[in-house]
Amino acid sequence: MTATLIDGKAVAAGLRREIAARVAGLSFRPGLRVVRVGDDPASGVYVRNKDKAAQEVGFDSATIHLPAGTEQAELLALVARLNADPAVDGILVQLPLPPQIRADVVISAVAPEKDVDGFHPLNAGRLASGQPGLVPCTPKGVMHLLRAAGASLPGARALVVGRSGIVGRPMAQLLLGADCTVTIAHSRTRDLAAECRRAEILVAAVGRPEMVQGDWVAEGATVIDVGINRLPDGRLVGDVAFAGAVERAEAITPVPGGVGPMTIACLLENTLEAALIRRNI
Ligand code: GUN
């Protein structure tokens, strides 16, 4: 069997169109502020893409760029101003932050109802206890892709490889919420190959190039590859060895063009959701 490719670019474009249409019907523009501290070049690209996508769907979006030497107290003061600004529905502080600033402190300072990254402990707790709240963008995007691929989730054996707070843990919670039987594997998992071979839904989010080998993928599995890794020869690869996996899976995301485009589309979805809830619409 050769797998169907799950086209993240197309699914993301559809979601962005749907958001733009909903924004066009509103009497106000949802407000997003993206905060960048310092000059990390990758962050520069991400922040520009987020801001551009937000403007394209009709949001009132702006980037606030602070110098690398910004003290934590100054960033907290900015977050407090944005929390209090009624025109701002969503606040995103781009990570990583410079070493003098504690990311956990800043994340906890963002008003939970404006936390469009879904990183605030209150939102993480809501997700873990099955309550509605803002959900991290990348795992939310994965759920969209699983639905677009027509994956049957209730009762399915789902394996999440990786336990980060941004992807792995919320991913597992979302799959559990969709009635999967969920396993989380990580660097101390004893026999990762065996865990992968049992999985009907396999989500790889470890950030290690091609760590999940092709012959670890079960025949007919749905494989979502969250990894984007640059090899020394310049090639971009995922956390799954694609060439082998594509021969066994029923459906698989490519890298690039799979999960990547979904993250920004879900940031827009979260911002619209935050705007509607804050304004009781
Ligand atoms: N840095 C890399 N990915 C992300 C993300 O999704 N949100 C934020 N705030 N920073 C990031």
Q: Given ligand 1 and candidates 50, 93, 94, 226, which is best to mutate, with the most ligand atoms within 8 Å of its CB? A: 94
Q: Are 281 and 67 in contact (CB under 8 A)?
A: no
Give the mean pLDDT of 98-122: 98
Average pLDDT, the chain: 98
Cα(2)–Cα(41) distance, rounded to whole angstroms? Answer: 37
**Residue ID of nearest Cα to ligand 1 atom 8:** 94
Which residue type, as a one-letter code, is found at position 55?
A: Q
Cα(57)–Cα(240) distance, rounded to whole angstroms? Answer: 33
pLDDT in tens, 134-187: 999 999 999 999 999 999 999 999 999 999 999 999 999 999 999 999 999 999
Q: In residues, how long is the chain?
A: 281
pLDDT at 56: 98
Is the C-alpha dihedral spanning 118, 122, 124, 127 positive or negative? Answer: negative
Dist. CA 95 → ligand 1 center (Å): 5
pLDDT in tens, 232-241: 999 999 999 9
Q: Which two tokens stand for residue 5?
A: 């490719």
Confidence of residue 1 (pLDDT cuts 50, 70, 90): confident
- Could you confirm whether 117 is annotated as catalytic? yes
Give the predicted TM-score (pTM) of the model.
0.97
Cα(202)–Cα(211) distance, rounded to whole angstroms? Answer: 13
Cβ neighbours of residue 66 under 8 Å, at least 6 residues apart?
35, 36, 37, 38, 74, 75, 78
pLDDT at 96: 97
